[in-house]
Amino acid sequence: MSTHRTPHWERALVTGASAGIGEAFARRLAAEGTALVLVARDKQRLQALADELEAANAVEVEVLAADLADPDGAAAVAERISAKPTIDLMVNNAGIGSKGEFADLPLDGELRLVDVNISALMRLTQVAIGQMTRRGAGNVINVSSMSGLQPVPSMATYGATKAFVNSFTDALHEETRGTGVTITAVMPGFVRTEFQERTGNPDGFPQVPKLMWLTPEQVASDALDAARKGRADCVPGRGYRLASVLMGVTPRSVLRRFSGATAKYH
Protein backbone atom coordinates (compact mmCIF):
# COMPACT_ATOMS: atom_id res chain seq x y z
CA MET A 1 0.00 0.00 0.00
CA SER A 2 1.31 3.45 -0.93
CA THR A 3 2.20 5.84 1.90
CA HIS A 4 2.51 8.87 -0.37
CA ARG A 5 0.64 11.95 0.83
CA THR A 6 -0.42 14.73 -1.52
CA PRO A 7 1.70 17.76 -0.56
CA HIS A 8 0.42 21.20 0.36
CA TRP A 9 2.80 23.93 -0.72
CA GLU A 10 2.70 27.11 1.32
CA ARG A 11 5.66 28.68 -0.50
CA ALA A 12 7.53 27.83 -3.69
CA LEU A 13 10.79 29.12 -5.17
CA VAL A 14 10.96 29.18 -8.97
CA THR A 15 14.15 29.94 -10.91
CA GLY A 16 14.01 31.28 -14.44
CA ALA A 17 10.64 32.74 -13.50
CA SER A 18 10.52 35.84 -15.70
CA ALA A 19 9.25 34.08 -18.85
CA GLY A 20 8.29 30.79 -20.47
CA ILE A 21 7.94 27.66 -18.38
CA GLY A 22 9.09 29.40 -15.19
CA GLU A 23 6.44 32.09 -15.57
CA ALA A 24 3.83 29.39 -16.20
CA PHE A 25 4.84 27.66 -12.95
CA ALA A 26 4.54 30.98 -11.11
CA ARG A 27 1.10 31.75 -12.51
CA ARG A 28 -0.27 28.27 -11.80
CA LEU A 29 1.06 28.21 -8.24
CA ALA A 30 -0.14 31.74 -7.45
CA ALA A 31 -3.61 30.85 -8.72
CA GLU A 32 -3.59 27.93 -6.26
CA GLY A 33 -2.73 30.28 -3.39
CA THR A 34 0.95 29.41 -3.04
CA ALA A 35 3.28 32.22 -1.96
CA LEU A 36 6.27 32.63 -4.25
CA VAL A 37 9.93 33.50 -4.43
CA LEU A 38 10.71 34.37 -8.06
CA VAL A 39 14.30 34.19 -9.32
CA ALA A 40 15.72 35.42 -12.64
CA ARG A 41 18.28 37.89 -13.96
CA ASP A 42 15.79 40.53 -15.14
CA LYS A 43 14.59 42.30 -11.99
CA GLN A 44 12.23 44.61 -13.88
CA ARG A 45 10.37 41.73 -15.52
CA LEU A 46 10.29 39.80 -12.26
CA GLN A 47 8.85 42.75 -10.36
CA ALA A 48 6.17 43.34 -13.00
CA LEU A 49 5.14 39.69 -12.79
CA ALA A 50 5.20 39.76 -8.98
CA ASP A 51 2.98 42.84 -8.85
CA GLU A 52 0.51 41.24 -11.25
CA LEU A 53 0.35 37.96 -9.33
CA GLU A 54 -0.04 39.65 -5.96
CA ALA A 55 -2.89 41.81 -7.24
CA ALA A 56 -4.70 38.96 -8.98
CA ASN A 57 -4.27 36.22 -6.38
CA ALA A 58 -3.71 37.93 -3.02
CA VAL A 59 -0.50 35.96 -2.42
CA GLU A 60 2.89 37.14 -1.21
CA VAL A 61 5.52 37.23 -3.97
CA GLU A 62 9.21 37.88 -3.28
CA VAL A 63 11.60 38.90 -6.04
CA LEU A 64 15.25 37.83 -6.09
CA ALA A 65 17.28 39.00 -9.09
CA ALA A 66 20.26 36.69 -9.55
CA ASP A 67 22.45 35.32 -12.33
CA LEU A 68 22.92 31.61 -11.60
CA ALA A 69 26.02 31.49 -13.79
CA ASP A 70 27.66 33.72 -11.18
CA PRO A 71 28.66 31.89 -7.97
CA ASP A 72 27.55 34.91 -5.94
CA GLY A 73 24.13 34.80 -7.59
CA ALA A 74 23.72 31.09 -6.90
CA ALA A 75 24.89 31.66 -3.32
CA ALA A 76 22.23 34.35 -2.81
CA VAL A 77 19.49 31.96 -3.93
CA ALA A 78 20.89 29.18 -1.75
CA GLU A 79 20.85 31.55 1.22
CA ARG A 80 17.18 32.34 0.60
CA ILE A 81 16.32 28.64 0.47
CA SER A 82 17.94 28.24 3.89
CA ALA A 83 16.08 31.21 5.37
CA LYS A 84 12.52 31.68 6.59
CA PRO A 85 9.74 31.61 5.53
CA THR A 86 10.62 28.07 4.47
CA ILE A 87 10.38 26.75 0.92
CA ASP A 88 8.06 23.76 0.41
CA LEU A 89 8.52 23.45 -3.35
CA MET A 90 11.72 24.17 -5.27
CA VAL A 91 11.44 24.48 -9.06
CA ASN A 92 14.83 24.42 -10.78
CA ASN A 93 13.71 25.82 -14.11
CA ALA A 94 16.54 28.20 -15.05
CA GLY A 95 18.50 26.94 -18.01
CA ILE A 96 20.37 28.16 -21.07
CA GLY A 97 21.36 26.55 -24.36
CA SER A 98 23.54 27.04 -27.40
CA LYS A 99 23.40 25.95 -31.01
CA GLY A 100 26.19 25.02 -33.40
CA GLU A 101 28.98 22.51 -33.76
CA PHE A 102 30.87 22.23 -30.48
CA ALA A 103 34.29 22.90 -32.04
CA ASP A 104 33.05 26.23 -33.40
CA LEU A 105 31.35 27.53 -30.25
CA PRO A 106 33.11 29.80 -27.70
CA LEU A 107 34.21 27.59 -24.83
CA ASP A 108 33.38 30.24 -22.23
CA GLY A 109 29.76 30.14 -23.37
CA GLU A 110 29.63 26.35 -23.12
CA LEU A 111 31.11 26.43 -19.62
CA ARG A 112 28.57 29.08 -18.62
CA LEU A 113 25.87 26.71 -19.84
CA VAL A 114 27.26 24.00 -17.55
CA ASP A 115 27.39 26.46 -14.65
CA VAL A 116 23.68 27.25 -14.97
CA ASN A 117 22.25 23.90 -16.07
CA ILE A 118 24.32 21.70 -13.76
CA SER A 119 26.37 23.49 -11.09
CA ALA A 120 23.69 25.91 -9.92
CA LEU A 121 21.02 23.21 -10.05
CA MET A 122 23.17 20.91 -7.91
CA ARG A 123 23.87 23.62 -5.37
CA LEU A 124 20.26 24.70 -4.98
CA THR A 125 18.96 21.14 -4.94
CA GLN A 126 21.36 20.14 -2.16
CA VAL A 127 20.34 23.07 0.01
CA ALA A 128 16.64 22.47 -0.64
CA ILE A 129 16.85 18.75 0.13
CA GLY A 130 18.73 19.44 3.34
CA GLN A 131 16.08 21.85 4.56
CA MET A 132 13.19 19.64 3.47
CA THR A 133 14.46 16.37 4.92
CA ARG A 134 14.91 18.01 8.31
CA ARG A 135 11.23 18.97 8.18
CA GLY A 136 10.19 15.64 6.68
CA ALA A 137 8.37 17.19 3.74
CA GLY A 138 9.00 19.01 0.47
CA ASN A 139 9.28 18.69 -3.28
CA VAL A 140 11.92 19.56 -5.86
CA ILE A 141 11.10 19.77 -9.57
CA ASN A 142 14.07 19.80 -11.94
CA VAL A 143 13.12 21.00 -15.41
CA SER A 144 15.08 18.87 -17.85
CA SER A 145 14.33 17.98 -21.48
CA MET A 146 13.68 15.15 -23.91
CA SER A 147 17.10 16.18 -25.24
CA GLY A 148 18.57 14.37 -22.25
CA LEU A 149 17.32 11.04 -23.58
CA GLN A 150 19.41 11.09 -26.76
CA PRO A 151 22.56 12.59 -28.27
CA VAL A 152 21.88 16.08 -29.65
CA PRO A 153 24.35 17.05 -32.40
CA SER A 154 24.43 20.85 -32.86
CA MET A 155 23.37 21.23 -29.21
CA ALA A 156 25.85 18.78 -27.71
CA THR A 157 26.56 20.53 -24.42
CA TYR A 158 22.92 21.38 -23.78
CA GLY A 159 21.80 17.79 -24.38
CA ALA A 160 24.57 16.47 -22.15
CA THR A 161 23.56 18.78 -19.30
CA LYS A 162 19.98 17.53 -19.54
CA ALA A 163 21.15 13.91 -19.54
CA PHE A 164 22.95 14.77 -16.30
CA VAL A 165 19.80 16.32 -14.82
CA ASN A 166 17.75 13.21 -15.68
CA SER A 167 20.24 10.80 -14.11
CA PHE A 168 20.91 13.07 -11.12
CA THR A 169 17.21 13.47 -10.39
CA ASP A 170 16.51 9.73 -10.69
CA ALA A 171 19.28 9.01 -8.19
CA LEU A 172 18.05 11.64 -5.72
CA HIS A 173 14.50 10.34 -6.02
CA GLU A 174 15.76 7.04 -4.60
CA GLU A 175 18.05 8.66 -2.02
CA THR A 176 15.10 10.62 -0.57
CA ARG A 177 12.64 7.72 -0.64
CA GLY A 178 10.88 7.46 2.71
CA THR A 179 11.98 10.92 3.91
CA GLY A 180 8.82 12.79 2.93
CA VAL A 181 10.77 14.58 0.17
CA THR A 182 10.22 13.87 -3.52
CA ILE A 183 12.42 14.87 -6.47
CA THR A 184 10.83 14.94 -9.93
CA ALA A 185 12.37 15.52 -13.37
CA VAL A 186 10.14 17.02 -16.07
CA MET A 187 11.29 16.31 -19.62
CA PRO A 188 9.38 18.38 -22.18
CA GLY A 189 9.90 18.28 -25.91
CA PHE A 190 9.52 21.42 -28.03
CA VAL A 191 7.94 24.27 -26.05
CA ARG A 192 6.96 27.73 -27.35
CA THR A 193 9.18 30.06 -25.28
CA GLU A 194 11.99 32.59 -25.72
CA PHE A 195 14.48 29.72 -25.44
CA GLN A 196 14.77 29.23 -29.22
CA GLU A 197 15.76 32.84 -29.83
CA ARG A 198 18.21 32.89 -26.93
CA THR A 199 19.98 29.77 -28.23
CA GLY A 200 20.56 31.36 -31.62
CA ASN A 201 17.58 29.75 -33.36
CA PRO A 202 15.07 32.61 -33.81
CA ASP A 203 13.04 30.68 -36.41
CA GLY A 204 12.11 28.18 -33.70
CA PHE A 205 12.63 24.89 -35.58
CA PRO A 206 10.18 25.49 -38.46
CA GLN A 207 10.50 21.85 -39.56
CA VAL A 208 8.74 20.68 -36.36
CA PRO A 209 4.99 20.06 -36.92
CA LYS A 210 2.68 22.38 -34.99
CA LEU A 211 1.09 19.49 -33.14
CA MET A 212 4.48 18.67 -31.58
CA TRP A 213 4.74 22.02 -29.81
CA LEU A 214 3.77 22.19 -26.14
CA THR A 215 2.70 25.29 -24.24
CA PRO A 216 4.54 26.39 -21.09
CA GLU A 217 1.24 26.06 -19.24
CA GLN A 218 0.90 22.41 -20.21
CA VAL A 219 4.44 21.65 -19.06
CA ALA A 220 3.96 23.38 -15.70
CA SER A 221 0.58 21.74 -15.11
CA ASP A 222 1.83 18.23 -15.89
CA ALA A 223 4.98 18.73 -13.80
CA LEU A 224 3.05 19.91 -10.74
CA ASP A 225 0.61 17.03 -11.06
CA ALA A 226 3.52 14.57 -11.27
CA ALA A 227 5.19 16.09 -8.20
CA ARG A 228 1.96 15.86 -6.24
CA LYS A 229 1.76 12.16 -7.11
CA GLY A 230 5.33 11.59 -5.97
CA ARG A 231 6.59 10.57 -9.40
CA ALA A 232 10.26 10.49 -10.34
CA ASP A 233 9.74 11.82 -13.84
CA CYS A 234 7.23 13.46 -16.13
CA VAL A 235 7.09 13.67 -19.92
CA PRO A 236 4.36 16.15 -20.89
CA GLY A 237 2.22 15.32 -23.91
CA ARG A 238 1.00 11.88 -25.05
CA GLY A 239 3.10 11.94 -28.21
CA TYR A 240 6.25 12.67 -26.27
CA ARG A 241 5.46 10.00 -23.67
CA LEU A 242 5.24 7.44 -26.47
CA ALA A 243 8.45 8.77 -27.99
CA SER A 244 10.26 8.46 -24.66
CA VAL A 245 9.25 4.79 -24.42
CA LEU A 246 10.46 4.11 -27.95
CA MET A 247 13.73 5.92 -27.28
CA GLY A 248 14.26 3.71 -24.24
CA VAL A 249 14.22 0.53 -26.35
CA THR A 250 16.01 1.90 -29.41
CA PRO A 251 19.73 1.01 -29.70
CA ARG A 252 22.00 3.92 -28.84
CA SER A 253 23.72 3.67 -32.21
CA VAL A 254 20.42 4.15 -34.01
CA LEU A 255 19.49 7.16 -31.88
CA ARG A 256 22.91 8.68 -32.53
CA ARG A 257 22.68 8.30 -36.31
CA PHE A 258 19.09 9.55 -36.40
CA SER A 259 19.96 12.59 -34.30
CA GLY A 260 22.94 13.36 -36.50
CA ALA A 261 20.87 13.19 -39.67
CA THR A 262 18.11 15.32 -38.15
CA ALA A 263 20.56 17.98 -36.94
CA LYS A 264 21.54 18.75 -40.54
CA TYR A 265 18.06 20.18 -41.14
CA HIS A 266 17.91 22.36 -38.02
Give catalytic residue positions: 158
d(CA 259, CA 83): 44
Nearest to 4, CA basis, from 221, 236, 223, 177: 177
Bond prior to 151 in cis (omega within 30° of 0): no
Q: Residue 182 burial (CB < 10 Å; 0-12/13-18/19+)?
A: buried
Establish how many alpha carbons lie within 13 A of residue 153's alpha carbon, considering only the half-sphere containing its beta carbon.
12
Contact predicate 71/122, CB 8 Å: no
In the sheet that 89-92 helps form, which strands lie side by side, from edge to edge? 61-65, 35-40, 11-15, 89-92, 138-143, 181-186, 233-234
Give, rounded to a whole angstrom, the gap between the first and last alpha carbons of the chain.
Answer: 48
- DSSP letter (8 states) at residue 214: B
One-letter amino acid identity for 173? H
d(CA 195, CA 201): 9
Nearest to 46, CA basis, from 4, 16, 13: 16
